[in-house]
């Protein structure tokens, strides 16, 4: 968690960890073979894939698969759209859900159980049953006829459908923090709300970062909501835009192109994941130790 320091290798320690290394290496190797195949297939040709030669590259590397996948649709616009949707919703989700999760996990009051149960059941209702009625309601209000309003609606919905998940996820992280911190703060005369933002919020950092990563990926990959609600091409998210491409490659039998499209979809999420987890966890948790 701390910034990597140049440390002398403690061989005794490393030896004890050897079984761990072996297990991890085996799994990583397995992952590499599998994902390597996907990546290899994206640079291969369809006949080679289905003859079982995806990784032999007998006819060379086919970067044109990527060119084809990229040029097919307005990819950069989809990217910007998704980035905006995902960033705004992730930030708002944390600001909305962290306080709620804190209160739900810390205080007992009449509606607490009811709210928790409501959130839990909301997670169990299949998305179709939520999204289609909402669509009928919102569409008949005429909101979708204006691009800006439509965009705002989309972001609000992304936030809304992830509220129960984020809240329930975060509850554990607050309930596991010892109450002594608040008690100490109270003695020092710090008001509870300030205590939350100054002390509890930073202490739940790992949970906040983890759930933000999940939320980001959820929104980035979200398909059904944007399919139904993005009434114009200008509003389309990456998932809808590029999954369309994946489908069209499938229907025209261009499997190599499909894998290239897949890599294009997943690469930004992966880079952002590394960015988010490494930079934020690395920069923050080091500073706050109980």
Partner 1 sequence: MKKNKPMIILFLTPAVLFFLVVFLYPILRTILMSFFHITSITDGIGEWTFRGLSNYINLFQTSLFRQSCWNLFRIWLYGGIIVLSLSLLFGVILTSGIRFKKVFRAIIYLPNIVSAVALATMWLQYVYSPKFGLLKSFFTALHLDSLAKIQWLDNDHKFYALLFAYCFGMVGYHMLIWCSGIERISPEYYEAATIDGAGKFAQFRFITRPLLKGVFKTNVTMWTVTSMAFFVWSQLFSTVTADTQTIVPTSYLYIKMFGAGNTVTDRDAGVSAAIGVILALVVVLVFTACNKLIKDDDLEF
Partner 2 sequence: MKRKVLSVLLSVTMLASLLTGCGSSSSSTEQAPEAAKEETAAAATEEAATEAPEGTLVYWSMWEATEPQGQAIKEAVDAYSAETGIPVQVEFKGRTGIREGLEPALAAGQQIDLFDEDIDRVNSAFGKYLMDLEELSASNDYEATANAGLMQACRDAGGGTLKSIPYQPNVFAFFYNQDLFDQAGITAVPTTWSEFLDVCQKLKDAGITPMTMDDAYATCLIGYHLGRLVGEDGVRAIVTEGKWDDPAVAQMAKDFEELASKGYFSELVGSNVWPAGQNSELAVGDAAMYLNGSWLPNEVKDIAGEDFNWGCFAYPALDGGKTGTESNNFGAQVYGINKDSKMGAEAFGLIMKITKGEYDQKLSEMSIGIPADSTNSEWPSLVACAKPVMDGSTNRYTWAVGVEANEDMTPIIKENFIKLIAGSCTADEFVQTMQDAAK
- In the complex, the residues that contact partner 2 under the rule CB under 8 A are 45-47, 50-52, 72-74, 76-77, 79-81, 83-84, 87-88, 90-91, 94, 128, 132, 135-136, 139-140, 144-152, 197, 201-202, 205, 208-209, 212, 224, 227-228, 231-234, 244-245, 247-249, 251-256, 272, 275-276, 279-280, 283-284, 288
Residue in 28, 67, 91, 147 binding partner 1, rule: CB under 8 A: 28
Please give the full DSSP string across 48-75, using - where no structure is assigned: HHHTT-TTT-TT---THHHHHHHHHTTH
Binding mask 101-140 for partner 1 (x = CB under 8 A): -xxx-xx-x-----xxxxxxxxxxxxxxxxxxxx-xx---
How far from the centroid of its chain's Cα atoms is residue 46's Cα?
31
Residue in 3, 5, 8, 13 binding partner 1, rule: CB under 8 A: 13
**What residues from 176 to 235 belong to the interface with partner 1 (CB under 8 A)?**
176, 178-180, 182, 192-193, 196, 203, 206-207, 209-210, 213-214, 217, 221
Question: Which residues, 6 or more positions from 230, have their beta carbon under 8 angstroms from its beta carbon?
Answer: 150, 154, 236, 237, 240
We find the least distance from the C-beta atom of residue 80 to partner 2, in angstroms, to be: 5
Instruction: Compute the distance between CA of residue 46 and CA of residue 254 in angstroms, rounded to an integer.
Output: 6
- Whether 199 contacts 248, CB under 8 Å: no
Place of tokens 């992304």: 158
Which of partner 2, partner 1, none interacts with 259 (beta carbon under 5 to 8 A by kind)?
partner 1
Residue in 74, 145, 146, 172 binding partner 1, rule: CB under 8 A: 172
Q: Which is nearer to partner 2, 217 or 249 (CB)?
A: 249
User: What Å distances lie between residue 42 and 10, 46, 193, 251, 260, CA to CA?
Assistant: 42, 9, 52, 17, 4
**What residues from 259 to 278 belong to the interface with partner 1 (CB under 8 A)?**
259, 262, 265-266, 269-270, 273-274, 277-278
Stretch that binds partner 1, among 48-56, 64-72, 74-82, 142-150 (CB under 8 A): 48-56
We find the least distance from the C-beta atom of residue 80 to partner 1, in angstroms, to be: 20
Which of partner 1, partner 2, none interacts with 190 (beta carbon under 5 to 8 A by kind)?
none
Phi-psi region at 189: left, alpha or beta (left = phi > 0; alpha = psi -120 to 50)? left
Q: CA nearest 222: which of 249, 251, 243?
A: 243
| Torsion angle of the four alpha carbons 60, 66, 71, 76, in this order, in degrees rounded to the nearest 10 | -160
């Amino acid at each position: 968690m701390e910034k990597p320091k140049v440390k002398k290798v403690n061989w005794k320690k490393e030896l004890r960890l050897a079984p761990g290394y072996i297990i991890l290496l085996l799994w990583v190797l397995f992952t590499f073979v599998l994902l390597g195949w996907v990546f290899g297939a994206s640079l291969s040709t369809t006949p080679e894939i289905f003859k079982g030669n995806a990784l032999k590259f007998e006819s060379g590397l086919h970067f044109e698969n990527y060119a084809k996948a990229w040029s097919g649709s307005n990819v950069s616009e989809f990217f910007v759209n998704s980035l905006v949707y995902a960033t705004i919703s992730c930030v708002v989700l944390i600001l909305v859900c962290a306080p709620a999760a804190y209160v739900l996990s810390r205080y007992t009051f009449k509606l607490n159980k009811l709210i928790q149960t409501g959130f839990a059941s909301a997670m169990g209702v299949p998305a179709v049953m939520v999204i289609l009625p909402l669509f009928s309601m919102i569409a008949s209000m005429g909101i979708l006829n204006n691009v800006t309003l439509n965009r705002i609606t989309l972001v609000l919905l992304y936030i809304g459908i992830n509220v129960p998940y984020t809240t329930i996820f975060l509850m554990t992280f607050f309930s596991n923090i010892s109450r002594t911190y608040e008690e100490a703060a109270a003695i020092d005369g710090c008001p509870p709300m300030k205590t939350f933002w100054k002390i509890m919020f930073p202490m739940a950092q790992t949970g906040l970062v983890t759930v933000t990563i999940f939320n980001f990926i959820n929104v980035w990959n979200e398909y059904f909501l944007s399919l139904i609600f993005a009434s114009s091409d200008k509003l389309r998210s990456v998932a809808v835009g590029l999954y369309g491409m994946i489908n069209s490659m499938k229907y025209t039998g261009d499997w190599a192109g499909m894998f290239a499209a897949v890599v294009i979809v997943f690469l930004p999420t992966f880079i952002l994941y590394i960015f988010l987890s490494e930079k934020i966890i690395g920069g923050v948790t080091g500073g706050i130790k109980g």
